[in-house]
Structure 1
Amino acid sequence: MTLASLAAFAGLCLILSITPGPDTFLVLRIALNRPSAGIAAAAGSAVAAIAWAALVGVGLAAILEQSAEVFRWVKIAGGLYLLYLGISSFLKTRKAARAGLEGGKEGNALRYSNLAGFGAGALSTLLNPKVGLFYLAVVPQFIPQGGDTMGTALILGAVEAVIGFAYLAVVALIAYKAMGWLRRPKVNTGVERVSSGIIAALGAGVVASGASS
């Protein structure tokens, strides 16, 4: 895996991280009364992301060992998933813009200890199959011919975990201000539409590349 490929993956992770989602609002909710617990939740989410990367790496290594052709179809399926993710996210944004965003309300904040925050962040990510699907869609695109599948998955998982943790930790530190900003329909809509378009374009490129190989 080249430095340019790693930078491209890091950019994709950054785009996905700044798109408000379940982990973002979980950290916001926890950090409202205890910022350190919000940072702990961000750390828990990062650890769980690496666990997902390891699980996906083991599965992909087994597939690649059995058949290179099957692995190629896994890559195409991953591209289709990214395309779906981008389009569905864009459609969801349009619907949310019309109806008004109602999630992430500040009124029901609960007080968490640091340990409870870490556990909540880890559990939220571990129980989110979209994280596994993300790695399943992306990891095959970065494995060179004869490359180390498990090693690549762990490297990508570590990169995503660091970027995700850094973003969520910042969100936790400015929770009171960030909550109001992220809930603005125009901000949420703009971020969602840009990220959705990039993800969909990446998915289309992956499908075209896999189909022609």
Structure 2
Amino acid sequence: MPGVEAIPSWPAFLVAVVLIAASPGPAMALLLRRAALGGFRAAVPTVLGLELGLYVWALLAAAGLAGLVAASEAAFWVLRVVGAGVLCWLGVRALRAAWRERRAGRTAAGTVPTSRRGGWAGFGEGLVVQLANPKAAVFMVAFYPQFVPADRPLFTTTAVLALAQVALETVLYLSLAAGVARAGDWFRRPRVRTWLEGVSGTVLVGLGLRVAVSGR
């Protein structure tokens, strides 16, 4: 397995990872919603699901399968439809929650479930959102080869780079979730929660529509 000294582009790679992690998108929208409404514990499974999905895409890219998806019109279209559907479904669900709470004029004392079922739901949401993102296939194919030295094995080196990305993003996302969760009591006030559900639902639907109409 290649060591750190075998990959001279580590500094540029880590800077790129930080910029990617900080960019707005489906992962960020999902994470912020879970952390604001459910607290830190509810956000952890979502982060783990997102990062597992990222690592799977990285390995598929190294194996050449992500390249096939990116090059195939049919495969890219199917993944685009699935990804758009998942984001729109999550957005509509949030909008329905906002509508119900607005009509009721109050919010239940509970938050987003932090039970085992709620944790698995958050993990599944993160994993599916990442795996159903067609842009991830295109991105992975273009991103990792830039940092793999010509004399290093592609698959093994990509796996190491992806593991570093997963570790760094996990720390960054969990830190962000912890910061958001500290204001959890404010976010879970009835009016604020209704507003947040509506905004996050609108953002997720908008991202889904963008995925549906965007090209490569």
Report the TM-score range of the alignment, normalised by the length of the smaller protein.
0.5 to 0.7
Which runs of 5 or more residues in structure 1 are unaligned? 29-37, 110-116
In the alignment, what sits opposite 1:106?
109
CA contact (8 A) 2:57 2:137 kept: no
The SS at the match of 1:11 is: coil
1:11 Cα offset (Å): 1.6
Tell me, yes or no, if structure 1 residue 129 matches structure 2 residue 124.
Answer: yes
Q: 1:79 to 1:154 in 2, by over 3 A?
A: farther
CA distance in 2 between counterparts of 1:125 and 1:108 reads 15
1:84 Cα offset (Å): 1.1
CA contact (8 A) 1:52 1:126 kept: no
Tell me the TM-score normalised to structure 1 length. 0.58
The code of the aligned residue for 1:196 comes to: V
Q: 1:203 to 1:151 in 2, by over 3 A?
A: farther
The SS at the match of 1:184 is: helix
The SS at the match of 1:79 is: helix
% identical aligned pairs: 13
1:179 Cα offset (Å): 1.9
Tell me, yes or no, if structure 1 residue 16 matches structure 2 residue 15.
Answer: no
In the alignment, what sits opposite 2:175?
166
CA distance in 2 between counterparts of 1:178 and 1:140 reads 34
CA distance in 2 between counterparts of 1:175 and 1:200 reads 29
Counting matched residue pairs gives: 184
Pairing 1:52-131 to 2, within 5 Å after superposition? 52-62=53-63, 64=64, 68-73=67-72, 74-100=75-101, 105-106=108-109, 124=119, 128-131=123-126
Cα displacement string for residues 49-103 of structure 1 (whole angstroms, at most 9, x for unaligned residues): 43443344334433x25x8434534544332233113332343344334332799
CA distance in 2 between counterparts of 1:174 and 1:55 reads 33
Which runs of 5 or more residues in structure 2 are unaligned? 1-11, 146-153
